[in-house]
Amino acid sequence: MATLDVRGISKTFRGTNGLVTVIEQLSMRADAGEFVAIIGPSGSGKSTLFNIIAGLETPDSGAVIIDGADVTGRRGQVAYMPQRDALLPWRSVIENAVLATIVQRGDVTAATREARALLDDFGLTGWGDARPAMLSGGMRQRAALLRTVLWHRPIMLLDEPFGALDALTRAQLQQWLLGLWDRLDRTILLVTHDIDEALLLADRVYALTPRPAQIALEVAVDLPRPRSYAVVADPAFARLKLRLQQVLNVY
């Protein structure tokens, strides 16, 4: 488990029609073992924020700090599940899952064994040697999550992991992710545009403003755990939802 500290990040892109400031002076944190949700309008800079934390983009100002060490612009420090699953079509589920181990020259045999052992847990029993094209949307997301878990990093960034799924599959996977997080003891940052999803899963929720992204609101979700869909009926849930809706201007 590890603590993530994002301090005063700004990022401006040079677009086709001039400069676009996507993130401005954004600070946030995730404590060790915490589940943090980030919610914001589409195009507000959530993926850009993750790219900066993952070291794919360097911020114009500010720093990314993990357990006290400045890792700004350094890659391979956090496990990252991009918005699209990015599974390699020529590799099997298992071969995709051990990709980070291959890149980081770890013990691939051990990682393969671990991946096989986790197939049941990830609802992929019997699909380990199948290519991604054979999988359903929900299974693809679970395969991508398996790859993220086997990255073996204490902090995991999940960028709208269930965004493209139908409501039923999404609900199942949310429940399953909660159980997974419980067992894994990792710090998770999850980007979503779904207020219910954020409140169901997270300990804390950051709501972002439209571009340039800043923190519009930070709320602690003190709903009892373990959670299920029953929390939707909790008056505290409704109160938090209303506050987030007001900030995000969605009704």
Ligand X SMILES: Nc1ncnc2c1ncn2[C@@H]1O[C@H](COP(=O)(O)OP(=O)(O)O)[C@@H](O)[C@H]1O
Binding residues (CB under 8 A) for another protein: these are 51, 54-56, 75-76, 80, 82-84, 86, 88-90, 99-100, 102-104, 131, 133-134, 151
Output the smallest distance, CB 78 to ligand X, in A.
17
Inter-residue contact 130 to 97 (CB < 8 Å):
no
Output the smallest distance, CB 44 to ligand X, in A.
4
Output the smallest distance, CB 249 to Mg ion, in A.
19
Instruction: Enter the DSSP assignment of 152.
Output: -
**Interatomic CA distance for residues 99 and 192, integer angstroms:** 25
Site map for Mg ion, 61-90, x if CB under 5 A?
A: ----------------------x-------
Rank residues 43 and 73 by Cβ distance to ligand X and give the closer one: 43
Rank residues 104 and 228 by Cβ distance to another protein and give the closer one: 104
**Interatomic CA distance for residues 208 and 185, integer angstroms:** 26
Site map for ligand X, 192-221, x if CB under 6 A?
A: -------------------x----------
Rg for the chain, CA atoms, rounded: 18
178 makes contact, choosing from Mg ion, ligand X, another protein, none, with CB < 5 to 8 Å by partner type, with none
- One-letter amino acid identity for 40? G
Inter-residue contact 46 to 213 (CB < 8 Å):
yes
Q: Which of 11, 28, 34, 47 binds Mg ion (CB under 5 A)?
A: 47
Output the smallest distance, CB 229 to another protein, in A.
31
Rank residues 14 and 105 by Cβ distance to another protein and give the closer one: 105
SS3 170: helix
Q: Does 73 bind ligand X (CB under 6 A)?
A: no
What order of strands is seen across the sheet that includes strand 35-39? Answer: 79-81, 155-159, 187-192, 35-39, 204-208, 215-220
Rank residues 97 and 205 by Cβ distance to another protein and give the closer one: 97
* 30 class by beta-carbon count within 10 Å (0-12 exposed, 13-18 middle, 19+ buried): buried
Q: Does 42 bind ligand X (CB under 6 A)?
A: yes
Q: Does 45 bind ligand X (CB under 6 A)?
A: yes
- Answer positive or negative: Cα dihedral of 201, 202, 207, 211: negative
SS3 122: coil
Q: Does 18 bind ligand X (CB under 6 A)?
A: no
69-81 burial code (b ≥16 CB/10 A, e <16):
eebbeeeebbbbb
Inter-residue contact 180 to 120 (CB < 8 Å):
no
Rank residues 47 and 77 by Cβ distance to Mg ion and give the closer one: 47
Q: Which residues bind ligand X (CB under 6 A)?
A: 13, 15, 20, 22, 40, 42-48, 211
